[in-house]
Structure 1
Amino acid sequence: MTTAARTLRGLLPAASDYRSIARTWRADLLAGVTVGIVALPLALGFGVSAGLSAEAGLVTAIVAGLVAAVFGGSNVQVSGPTGAMVVVLMPIVATHGAAAVAAISVLAGVVVVAAGMLRLGRAVSFIPWPVIEGFTLGIATIIFFQQVPLLASPHTAAAGEHSSNAVVAAVQALVAADPGYLPWSLAAAGLVAVCMVLAPRLRPGLPGSLIGIALVTVIALVVATPLATIGALPASLPAPALPDIDLTTLGALVGPALTVAALAAIESLLSARVAGAMADTGTFYPDRELVGQGLASIGSGLFGGMPATGAIARTAVNVRSGGRTRLAAITHAVVLLLVVLVAARPVGFIPLAALAGVLMVTAVRMVHRATVRSILRSTRADAVAFVVTALVTVSFDLIVAVAIGVVFAGVFALRSLSKATTVHREPLPGDAEPGDERIALLRFDGPLFFTAADRVFDEVTATNGVSVVILRMSQLELVDATGARVLGDIVTWLERRGVTVLIKGVQPGHEELFRTVGVLDALRHHKHLFTRLEDAVAHARSHVARERASGAA
């Protein structure tokens, strides 16, 4: 089998995906039903919050949830509409209209599939933990404030009426709030929130969100209220079709599609990684996960849904409920499909304020205070990366926020590493001999790369009053081309001033780089390279002895 064939085979479903199903199917079915119950209000709410419809969120949860479960790289990942994706889609809907979302979903899906084929699944490991948590805090903040317009008025804001920034839009919505509507909507959202908080305390596993939504819906049906509802939902899935969009508009959607693709890849890989840390859920294949998530978004777009990602909250519920194979995520999609086929009419009576309450509580639960405290109390670099990522997420763009957070973390990491590079003057080994004061034994510790290069050059060349300098390299760790070039410059600078340079302990991994960059060629003689410190010191003393003898003569 060729390498390409093996790679392709590793990205496709296999019988081994269901190897343990014979002993786990009961737990998987129960977990799937549980996740389906949890996912229903979230799917409806995220569809509305994105500026689309509750139907779009439900279709996405069903189609993408099923496709990703079969083709993805995790045994327990549950996929569908998520809050992070809603944050990205809102400005897209405001600019290009709701009809463009299906096309963006397909385009983004193609990009994510290509990323999986190109083996980019490990890229998420380069995102530091504080950046991930800052990203999460920013998303949670946006999701919370996105619900304010739903509570302020019985009609969602028309496109362009409110700012594209969730916090600003929330303030605008409150200023223009309907005083006859606001008390009812706040009461509905508050009742749902109370149910979500109290239900698990009364009995673990109780679906507080569904209980709260059911109570609010019944009250809204019995009592005359001004609460706006989801409205009529179709009793079946729409027929699949290619998005109807012209080439001019398609070109304008490429940029948004790339943003959506980046978010889908990052969030899905992070979610699967978190799931793998929660329990023994089998092998996780990140490249296959990208392929599966890409196909899920393509499928969702063909059915008129929105882009999908792995959902951390629903995946965690799946794992905690005992889900261990893909059967659980598949069951979750089937449960949601049955809701469409059997209970579409009752679902249409759910007040939007109730969904807003669900999402507000979900947003609050996304942020763990202990995690925030631990990051803020860790290092200044990590705290800055966390805060900056959160602020940029809320103020500008999710992908930009991750990029800036990674850059901040990288800059501070390089700064810390550069501080770890030290040069110490050591005493010569053995008994002191006349002329030893004319010999400088300099030991290099830590990594030597571009951020520390100038400082190391200044420290070494500041050594005065010596005839011989021994550069001890055995403790030198990472060396890049700039670091090696500076070592060559140090040797050249000292030799030009009549100081003999000896190099001791070049590690095998550094020798080729030192030869290529010219460090070893800068030595006065090829015999000035040593493997033993004793030999280097003896050679240095012989130089000093000749110098003293010459001076005495």
Structure 2
Amino acid sequence: MLNFFRTRTATAKDDLLSGLTVALALVPEAIAFAFVAGVSPIIGLYSAFFIGLITAAFGGRPGMISGATGAMAVVIVALVATQGVEYLFPTVVLCGIIQVLIGAARLGKLIRLVPHPVMLGFVNGLAIVIFTAQFGSFQAFDRANSQLTYLSGTPLVVMLLLIGLTMGIIWLLPKFTKAIPSSLAAILTVTFLSLAINQWTQTDAQSDENMVATVGDMLTTQARAKAAAQKNVAAIDSEAPAGASLEVTMVAMAQAEIAPSDAALGDAGAADTSSVNVDDGQGEVSASISGGLPRLFFLEYDAIPPMNFKTLWIIFPFAITLAGVGLIESLMTLTLIDEITETRGRGNRECIGQGAANIVCGMFGGMGGCAMIGQSLINVNSGGRGRLSGITAAVCLLMFILFLSPLIEKIPMAALVGVMFMVVIGTFEWASLKMFRRMPLSDVIVMLLVAGYTVVMHDLATAVILGVIVSALVFAWKHAANLGADITINEFGSKIYQLHGPLFFASVSSFKDLFDPASDPDDVVIDFYYTRVYDQSGLEAISGLTEKYDSLGKRLHLTHLSAECRQLLDRAGDFVEVNVSEDPQYHLATDRLA
């Protein structure tokens, strides 16, 4: 990676300022992911607050930022669309319980099984996903056609110039001073400049439209697009045959590139209507991120699902998926931050912290979440190393919701896009482009597979699992050919097979090809000093070989079996019958391995 993430000692000042920077970047992310999940923006903001606060305080990786994420949102959207938003919150609580149990069982260490090529593919694919995700900020709502369109002409030029200015400040400012995080300085500078530009253009053109789109504009644009999509759905649904409502709705939403939401939300309560209000049917929408303190979901929503086996049957598949996706992304982020900061987080504690955060988040009507790689990198780049940075980000986010929403909504999207572009540059492993000729072909394929799946499917967890499976299969295939034997005859006339390499399912065929029972002498020794038996397939291979020698009236001896191998043989019970005799050279004890 480029050296944007310099080694720094943690200080309270750096943590506070980097936390403020992260909070500013969290606002549009939380809003966007809420729209993806099919819930109101205020739910996404509350989720980011709860997840960020609890994981920062009790998680296993200081300096890592958590919040509402797209990985969780794409799982949630199907549940909200089919069952309603009231089923979301017990699902998030159950997800948290599962994560706590995984952490308590100390299964977080399984992240060690992720090979380096998978990690390379993960960070490269993630960088591309973060980059392409910023394209949505280049869209505006075309009232004439009631759809989203990309910027063009002067607004596009101005936005690109402001993005370039943001990136330039982040790059150059640390060369002169580190008293303030460069990302925060860039956001503030570009915000003041955009305010001046918008004021000048509105006065000059007598228009209320902003030349430079702000966070408030983004929220309004998405709300208008959603309102237009719902209007189209209603029109199509009125002409559709009976029984086709849900399918038509999903198709229309997909065509409008808007996730289903308010159709499932209904009149869910004040929290759902405080941020987006459709005034009329002409696309006039008022939008804000303001809201009150979060309340327990069973107090906020009139209709909550009954806590019975039927509800559990509905929510459990979603909960287990959310738990897996959240932990994989969180532990991968933890590993990445460990590498950058040259410190080591605690995976099992992070699992428990993420679980506790999701339990509380679900209880207060949140959509759940996990670690956010982009925001974590912003935090590290800005000097945040301690828990105070994450706590500050969460508290600032709540303050934005309660008191400062009018100010936050004036932050230009160009500034936030510029910050994320710098994150992309710092995240992408540029050295991997030069490693293709030096890396084994199998590792290159794994890296490209993980990166490609991440980019195409936007599913980081599945991409990592797929990469680990392919790497494991490649490893098994390569080691299957590494089993061999040195064959000698000792002074007693016994034929000795000195094995080398692992004996497991993939090497069983090579193991069988080493022996010739018909031509071997009456006494045969298999020496396991340089090998190990790893699984039931290896035991069955030994059992079959023993039967062949026994049927020919020949004796087979096993020597230098490790404790692990003996344990596997003991577990095999009556499946393996091997004669072990006393031999002065090998010091064997007569026993039946059963």
Using the size of structure 1 for normalisation, the TM-score is: 0.73
Give SS of 2:393's match.
Answer: helix
Distance (whole Å) between structure 1 residues aligned to residue 20 and residue 80 of structure 2: 27
Residue type matched to 2:219 in 1? Answer: I
Displacement after TM superposition at 1:269 (Å)? 2.5
Residue of 480, 500, 512 corresponding to 2:535: 480
What's the C-alpha RMSD, in Å, of the aligned pairs? 4.1
Displacement after TM superposition at 1:218 (Å)? 4.1
Structure-2 residue corresponding to 1:445: 500
Displacement after TM superposition at 1:460 (Å)? 1.3
C-alpha spacing 1:474/1:466, structure 2 compared with 1 (3 Å): same
C-alpha spacing 1:330/1:382, structure 2 compared with 1 (3 Å): same
Alignment of 1:161-176 (within 5 A): none
C-alpha spacing 1:355/1:327, structure 2 compared with 1 (3 Å): closer
Structure-2 residue corresponding to 1:15: none
Give SS of 1:73's match.
Answer: coil
Structure-1 residue corresponding to 2:371: 310
Residue of 382, 391, 410 corresponding to 1:330: 391
Maintained 8 Å contact 2:42/2:291: no
Maintained 8 Å contact 1:50/1:93: no
Displacement after TM superposition at 1:27 (Å)? 1.2
Residue type matched to 2:47 in 1? Answer: T
C-alpha spacing 1:96/1:356, structure 2 compared with 1 (3 Å): farther
Residue type matched to 1:111 in 2? Answer: I
Residue of 580, 583, 588 corresponding to 1:530: 583
Give SS of 2:463's match.
Answer: helix
Structure-1 residue corresponding to 2:15: 31
Deviates more, 1:79-88 or 1:27-36: 79-88
Distance (whole Å) between structure 2 residues aligned to residue 143 and residue 413 of structure 1: 31
Asked whether 1:81 is paired with 2:57, we answer no
Asked whether 1:418 is paired with 2:480, we answer yes
Residue type matched to 1:530 in 2? Answer: D
C-alpha spacing 1:246/1:340, structure 2 compared with 1 (3 Å): closer
Distance (whole Å) between structure 1 residues aligned to residue 315 and residue 417 of structure 2: 29
Alignment of 1:392-407 (within 5 A): 392-396=453-457, 397-407=459-469
Maintained 8 Å contact 1:502/1:530: no
Asked whether 1:72 is paired with 2:50, we answer no
Displacement after TM superposition at 1:265 (Å)? 1.5
Displacement after TM superposition at 1:415 (Å)? 1.8
Maintained 8 Å contact 2:122/2:464: yes
Structure-2 residue corresponding to 1:291: 352
Asked whether 1:230 is paired with 2:219, we answer yes
Displacement after TM superposition at 1:97 (Å)? 7.2
Structure-1 residue corresponding to 2:448: 387
Give SS of 1:473's match.
Answer: strand
Residue type matched to 1:197 in 2? Answer: M
Maintained 8 Å contact 1:448/1:477: yes
Alignment of 1:472-551 (within 5 A): 472-497=527-552, 499-511=554-566, 513-514=568-569, 517=572, 521-523=577-579, 526-527=580-581, 530=583, 532=585
Distance (whole Å) between structure 2 residues aligned to residue 183 and residue 259 of structure 1: 44
Residue type matched to 2:532 in 1? Answer: E
C-alpha spacing 1:277/1:103, structure 2 compared with 1 (3 Å): same
Distance (whole Å) between structure 1 residues aligned to residue 412 and residue 86 of structure 2: 24
Residue type matched to 1:345 in 2? Answer: P
Structure-2 residue corresponding to 1:182: 152
Residue type matched to 1:127 in 2? Answer: V
C-alpha spacing 1:105/1:147, structure 2 compared with 1 (3 Å): farther
Give SS of 2:486's match.
Answer: strand
Asked whether 1:193 is paired with 2:163, we answer yes
* Count of matched residue pairs: 483
Displacement after TM superposition at 1:33 (Å)? 2.0
Maintained 8 Å contact 1:134/1:388: yes
Distance (whole Å) between structure 1 residues aligned to residue 109 and residue 497 of structure 2: 40
Unaligned runs of 5+ in 1: 1-23, 162-175, 537-553
Distance (whole Å) between structure 2 residues aligned to residue 320 and residue 149 of structure 1: 24
Asked whether 1:206 is paired with 2:182, we answer yes
Maintained 8 Å contact 1:36/1:332: yes
Residue of 21, 33, 41 corresponding to 2:25: 41
Structure-1 residue corresponding to 2:103: 116
Question: Could you give the per-residue CA deviations for residues 116-153 of structure 1, whole angstroms, max 9, x where no partner exists?
Answer: 34443323233333334434444443443344344244
Question: Could you give the per-residue CA deviations for residues 7-53 of structure 1, whole angstroms, max 9, x where no partner exists?
Answer: xxxxxxxxxxxxxxxxx999124323223213412432342254256
Give SS of 2:498's match.
Answer: strand
Distance (whole Å) between structure 2 residues aligned to residue 202 and residue 476 of structure 1: 57
Distance (whole Å) between structure 2 residues aligned to residue 96 and residue 362 of structure 1: 37
Question: Could you give the per-residue CA deviations for residues 74-130 of structure 1, whole angstroms, max 9, x where no partner exists?
Answer: 343332234544555566667677777656544433332333344433232333333
Maintained 8 Å contact 1:461/1:490: no
Maintained 8 Å contact 1:50/1:90: no
Question: Could you give the per-residue CA deviations for residues 189-229 of structure 1, whole angstroms, max 9, x where no partner exists?
Answer: 52343134211332123113454455445423432446444
Question: Could you give the per-residue CA deviations for residues 458-506 of structure 1, whole angstroms, max 9, x where no partner exists?
Answer: 2213884755543222222344332133123223323434555444433
Displacement after TM superposition at 1:330 (Å)? 1.9
Structure-1 residue corresponding to 2:235: none
Displacement after TM superposition at 1:445 (Å)? 0.8
Displacement after TM superposition at 1:410 (Å)? 1.6
Distance (whole Å) between structure 2 residues aligned to residue 390 and residue 120 of structure 1: 25
Maintained 8 Å contact 1:40/1:58: no
C-alpha spacing 1:270/1:149, structure 2 compared with 1 (3 Å): closer
Displacement after TM superposition at 1:444 (Å)? 0.3
Structure-1 residue corresponding to 2:50: 63
Asked whether 1:369 is paired with 2:347, we answer no
Displacement after TM superposition at 1:345 (Å)? 0.6
Deviates more, 1:47-56 or 1:488-497: 47-56
